[in-house]
Chains A and B, each alone.
Chain A
Amino acid sequence: MTTPLLEIRGLSHYFGGLCAVNEVSLDIAPGELVGLIGPNGAGKTTVFNLITGVYRATAGSIRFGGEELVGRAPHDIARLGIARTFQNIRLFRDLPVLDNVRTALDGHTRYGAAEALFRFGRFGREERRVIAEARELLALLKLDHLAGESACNLPYGLQRRLEIARALALRPKLLLLDEPAAGMNPNEIGQLMEFIAWVRDRFKLTILLIEHQMRLVMGICERLAVLDFGATIAAGTPAEVRADPKVLEAYLGVEDPAAGTGDTGP
């Protein structure tokens, strides 16, 4: 196996006394498309928040391309090449589509505050480059005709796509998608699956995604990790995971009428 792009070892996170993530370990090789699944409240988004630095891990390590991520600022991690989307869309709503993407490209822009305030040096050249790149990316994702529209005015599906465009503008190596299919109908989910596959090929990405839509997960993920109560209970190919009795138990509960039920089962 090649050296992993992302290497999570013994990752734990506590909210006060509550253990949200418990000793999770996960390796992702470059180019892989891995799914992170599990019932609601299993700690999936917390894992994303730990990788991206929103939370600081209580214990464990996250290495990305050999660099330790725990303790780094989120914007630092983003610029290293980890981009994400959110379960509930978090665009810069009042800003035009173009600026949503430009803000992400700015992380790679080189000019200082003085150059910006008095407009000299690298400022003009860099700004022109950023606009050109933003437009190119928007054209690629078929959003270019909406460049001047405020993000909030886009229909839901296009907002999701813009969020992915903004993430891609960071030129990430690893893309984290948090429930990309949330709120989509079966037809749209089919299109999204094709879109994710295309994005991955086009931008040579490694993708880790959280999803409840089993059709999407089973359809495009090469490998799955299943979380329950913050711990990894299973890992493997979709077929292996589907057959794992512990996974069925986590989603559907044991044969005990008192036990709670999961949501969308496999």
Chain B
Amino acid sequence: MSRHSWGALALILAGLALSFAIPAYGWLNKYQQMILMYVGINVILAVSLNLVNGYMGEFSLGSAGFMAVGAYTASFATVRLLPAAFGALGLPPETALAWGFPLAVLAGGLMAALFGLLVAFPSFKTRGDYLALVTLAFLMIVKSAIENLDVIGGPRGFLGMKRLTTLPWVFAWTALTVLVIRNFVYSRFGRGVLAVREDEIAAELTGVDTRRAKFLAFTLSAFFSGVAGGLFAHLLQFISPRVFDIIKSTDVLIMVYLGGIASIGGSVLGATIYTVLLEALRPSAVGWAFGWLPPALFEPLNTHVIAHLNVWRMVVMPLLLVLVMLYRPRGIMGLRELRWLVPRRDREALGKGCPRPAPSPQGRGGT
């Protein structure tokens, strides 16, 4: 292992230790810990969506669909399958769930990856807007399939999950996602995916197996979205088809485009800003933040502004996105990467992209 890898390992271990320490010593209250876990889950979602939307240049709306598949699979595993399986082995149910949880999340990821594969096939034939519609259709199919499956609760939703998602688990899965997708991006497979975005025909004629590139990008992205779904389900402890609608996909899209396309650091940033800011704009949070004001000032502020924030905070985020798109069309860190996320040998050739997004080439060139 190089010095670089040791540094990364140390950083991950330190983060893991911190994720154990925070709940153990009560450094943050329960609410803050929950927000931190949502940040992690959203980072997983954003980084994995960025692989398809940012690095590969497609426009997938399917995040919530893959998330739903992962959430339902993992939940079904911990509620129905695991207690039965481990019970047969004579293990107490508590231990069974503690040990089985990562397996359940993994199963959720794998099932989502299987669905990702299904979406990869249409992507061989169609691109851009049309593929976006295919992913939208996928999302709707998943949603109505769940609504019609009585075994997982249908439209009423599914519950009975224990709160198995803890800060250390969220941190571990987030670190794994960032590491694996970063490793993918800085490899020949990642360069293939980038080449597909830049010019699919030229990529093929440069020896890139574009089908394999798409296949890998879709499955890997879906896998981690599914993992995020599994973690999400065991944090919320209740899932229903309505949780995984188009709005959920749009949330992830906002995080990706806010943070910046084709940038893992950007997605981490985008997901963090989005999650934290949405929470910080809640009336209770803002009221607490301005509590030091003298009552003469605070009272009118509270009744006229803060009380309405529950409505307005949903306006602030899209507005923020519009502003970012106007002034930085590729997001805060679009096409740029945090230096320490880039493998050393790739650092000397870090392109910054073109000043303006290039129009996508349509023709096949020439007569």
Closest A residue to B330 by beta carbon equals: A94
Report the minimal beta-carbon distance from A42 to chain B, rounded to whole angstroms: 7
Is B198 in contact with A42, judged by CB distance below 8 angstroms?
no
A-B contact count (CB 8 A): 156
Is B354 in contact with A150, judged by CB distance below 8 angstroms?
yes
Distance, CA A42 to CA B367, complexed state (A): 8
Distance, CA A48 to CA B191, complexed state (A): 25
- State which of B5, B197, B358, B365 has its C-beta within 8 Å of the C-beta of A86: B365
Closest A residue to B204 by beta carbon equals: A74
Residues of A within 8 A of B5 (CB): 119
Is B350 in the interface zone, CB < 8 Å from A?
A: yes
Distance, CA A258 to CA B109, complexed state (A): 69
Is A102 in the interface zone, CB < 8 Å from B?
A: yes
Is B203 in the interface zone, CB < 8 Å from A?
A: yes
Is B183 in contact with A103, judged by CB distance below 8 angstroms?
no
Is B367 in contact with A94, judged by CB distance below 8 angstroms?
no
Is A49 in contact with B349, judged by CB distance below 8 angstroms?
no
Per-position binary interface string of chain B over residues 27-61, scored 1 when its CB falls under 8 Å from any chain A CB and 0 otherwise: 00000000000000000000000000000000000
Report the minimal beta-carbon distance from B256 to chain A, rounded to whole angstroms: 17
Quick one: which of B191-216 are within 8 Å of A by CB?
A: 191-192, 194-195, 197-199, 201-210, 216
Quick one: which of A85-112 are within 8 Å of B by CB?
A: 86-88, 90-99, 102-104, 106-109, 111
Interface residue stretch chosen among A123-131, A199-207, A234-242: A123-131
Q: State whether A106 and B204 are in contact (beta carbons under 8 Å apart), knowing that A94-B353, A148-B348, A150-B353 are contacts in the complex.
A: no
Q: Which of A91, A102, A117 has the most CB of B within 10 A?
A: A117
Is B351 in contact with A150, judged by CB distance below 8 angstroms?
yes
Per-position binary interface string of chain A over residues 47-65, scored 1 when its CB falls under 8 Å from any chain B CB and 0 otherwise: 0110011100000000000
Is B198 in contact with A92, judged by CB distance below 8 angstroms?
yes
Quick one: which of B298-321 are within 8 Å of A by CB?
A: none
Query: Range of interface residues on chain A?
Result: 35 or more
Residues of A within 8 A of B188 (CB): 102-103, 106, 109, 111, 116, 130
Residues of B within 8 A of A42 (CB): 367
Distance, CA A192 to CA B209, complexed state (A): 31
- State which of A90, A99, A116 has its C-beta within 8 Å of the C-beta of B202: A90
Distance, CA A96 to CA B351, complexed state (A): 5
Closest A residue to B211 by beta carbon equals: A73
Is B361 in the interface zone, CB < 8 Å from A?
A: yes
Residues of B within 8 A of A150 (CB): 351-354
Residues of B within 8 A of A106 (CB): 188, 191-192, 207-208
Is A43 in contact with B351, judged by CB distance below 8 angstroms?
no
Residues of A within 8 A of B81 (CB): none
Q: State whether A95 and B352 are in contact (beta carbons under 8 Å apart), knowing that A75-B209, A170-B207 are contacts in the complex.
A: no
Residues of B within 8 A of A90 (CB): 199, 201-202, 361, 365
Is B192 in contact with A86, judged by CB distance below 8 angstroms?
no
Is B205 in contact with A92, judged by CB distance below 8 angstroms?
no
Is B204 in contact with A73, judged by CB distance below 8 angstroms?
yes
Is A10 in the interface zone, CB < 8 Å from B?
A: no
| Chain A interface residues toward B at CB < 8 A | 40-46, 48-49, 52-54, 73-75, 78-79, 83-84, 86-88, 90-99, 102-104, 106-109, 111, 113, 116-119, 123, 127-128, 130-131, 147-153, 166-167, 170, 178-179
A-B contact pairs, 24 of them (CB 8 A): A44-B367, A45-B365, A54-B364, A73-B204, A74-B204, A75-B210, A90-B201, A92-B198, A94-B197, A94-B198, A94-B335, A94-B353, A103-B195, A104-B206, A116-B183, A116-B187, A117-B187, A119-B5, A148-B351, A150-B352, A151-B351, A153-B354, A167-B206, A178-B365
Other A-B pairs beyond A83-B206, A95-B191, A116-B187, 9, CB < 8 Å: A52-B205, A54-B364, A75-B206, A86-B365, A90-B201, A99-B191, A103-B203, A104-B207, A109-B188
